[in-house]
Structure 1
């Protein structure tokens, strides 16, 4: 298959799988937009395989194989894998970055829960902030300040997703809200999972998470305004479209249990126009001091990896997570063999 045909497959995957990113990507320059679509397609399909597939453990282990093959320049014979391998070579994408995504998906496969907001940020760093950092690599941005602000934006977007999907996640037996917030509110988290309801306490937690996302959106803005000029409209668009999802959740009274907030095409077009305006104004506005704020503790390892100042070897935490998943997979296979033998 040609590179053009592989690229067409990536565009199709994003068009149907991530409407918000697909809209924002229209404002990116072609030199960034096409590799960004490849990146999002690879990450999106990996995430869907873990979240929606029947065998999340096997999906994570297969993703490890896909990454190994892509970095060895021997990708699986699939359009997105071939395109991703080309991206790795063209942009010298540090292996530690997709490895971070792999670890976040491993945590999902383990059905990990998070005791504190810092724990939620740890998870969000791996499944969302890392995408922001990889986007910076595609733009040729490798300085720590702008990388840190990209992480802020990724964290904000993931917290918004969590706030929007409280009910959908509960239906899958998952809670991403901090467990200590349930304790503070006097709500039994396990009871909520068995009978999700949009109680005042759950709505208050959702609003609290959105307020943290708002803080991070604002902290990210100086970094967006300092990106290469041609990239600013697309990233401002991602910021406003995702923040708009949070506004839609608030418009429902922070009830994301009985339904899911949506934003329409007209509103997206408005945010795209606003983003172009803000990108233009950013050329005449002074830099904000918050551009130079230190990265959040939970994302510092991503900043170091993209800036080229961290070890290239696979992290111990990822190795531990993969080891646990392999043990689970072996146990499952052995149990299946035992069942087959008994029924024979």
Structure 2
């Protein structure tokens, strides 16, 4: 199966407009990794938009699962991201369980799932972010469990950063990712917060906790960079610094992600790219950190195991179907409620 240049052009364009941070970091990746990673991210962006922009969430995720099934059968849909990702799956023997985990996370989003504890938020972050990090390792031909564990740390850190930045935007969409037990400790409920989201001292303290957790995992993740191919290290460092920089902007705003949304400038991104190149060069002469061998987060261990060659054919379709059944029930309940209202008005 060949990957048309026009397909790659479409993937590059999707990332250029859909993920400025990843587009900047990808510039430091070698071509052998950059092009497959752009195909991967284009498919992930397509998947996220296909669910987020649809009213019938369960149907949207089911369509995505069907598309993924055809990709793994070598007969992708007639679209650039599908064709490009099918080539990646074939060339790199991408374990099916990894994109399945991403779909499971999207199904959780579709059902409006909330998370009681930080550990449950890690469960979610593992699916929507760490799964992509492990797939990136596969594209680098890296299957070492220690390197994969640190890639998972980076994925969770990035997702926590995204959540800390988007608290206000998510609230406008009726979504809350702050651990419910944190809200409970502050005498708040999720519904009460969503009714009138304000950057109170309690909410800003929770935002700070997310940023601090992310920073801890960014530090842990750095130990894994030295286990990657030398040519790929600058790009991964760039992703680490650019996303951590977003957290820095959240901090500078006083952890108020409701009145404003943190963003980084082009000049800042260019500065982090330069720092990343220097840090990557240092890994060639510096000894490996003992942190490389730290245990993986319990919530991401299944991804580390899934990336093993012996597991390349396994999927997580049962977990996805279970999540989808809950989304479908939610959609049915929503339709029934609307029909009930309509019946009373007619």
Normalising by structure 2, what TM-score? Answer: 0.94
> Displacement of 1:332 after TM fit?
7.0
Instruction: Output aligned runs, 1:121-270, within 5 Å.
Output: 121-270=122-271
**Quick one: distance in 1 between partners of 2:336 and 2:6?**
41
Render the CA deviation track for 1:149-185: whole Å, top value 9, x for unaligned: 0000000000000000000000000011100001112
Matched, 1:62 2:63: yes
Q: Which of 107-116 and 56-65 deviates more?
A: 56-65
**Quick one: distance in 2 between partners of 1:339 and 1:165?**
33
**Counterpart position of 1:110:** 111
Give the paired residue count.
Answer: 344
Render the CA deviation track for 1:248-278: whole Å, top value 9, x for unaligned: 0111100001110010000000000000000
Q: Which of 187-196 and 167-176 deviates more?
A: 187-196
Paired residues of 2:3 and 2:84 also in contact (CA < 8 A): no
Q: Which of 1-10 and 255-264 deviates more?
A: 1-10
> Displacement of 1:186 after TM fit?
1.8
* Long gaps (5+) in structure 2: none
Paired residues of 1:58 and 1:329 also in contact (CA < 8 A): no
Cα RMSD (Å) of the superposition? Answer: 2.4
**Counterpart position of 1:292:** 293
Render the CA deviation track for 1:40-79: whole Å, top value 9, x for unaligned: 1110121122223333222211111110111111111111
Render the CA deviation track for 1:65-124: whole Å, top value 9, x for unaligned: 110111111111111111111111011001000000000000001100000000000000
**Quick one: distance in 2 between partners of 1:74 and 1:338?**
43
> Displacement of 1:139 after TM fit?
0.2
**Counterpart position of 2:326:** 324
Paired residues of 1:187 and 1:201 also in contact (CA < 8 A): no
Paired residues of 2:58 and 2:324 also in contact (CA < 8 A): no
> Displacement of 1:189 after TM fit?
2.1
* Long gaps (5+) in structure 1: none
> Displacement of 1:188 after TM fit?
2.6
CA 1:322–1:278 in structure 2 vs 1: closer, same or farther (change >3 Å)?
same
Paired residues of 1:100 and 1:130 also in contact (CA < 8 A): yes
Paired residues of 1:61 and 1:326 also in contact (CA < 8 A): no
Normalising by structure 1, what TM-score? Answer: 0.94
> Displacement of 1:327 after TM fit?
4.6
- The equivalent position to 2:316 in structure 1, one of 295, 298, 314, is 314
**Quick one: distance in 1 between partners of 2:130 and 2:56?**
25
**SS state of the match for residue 261, structure 1?**
coil
**SS state of the match for residue 232, structure 2?**
helix
CA 1:33–1:113 in structure 2 vs 1: closer, same or farther (change >3 Å)?
same
Q: Which of 78-87 and 316-325 deviates more?
A: 316-325
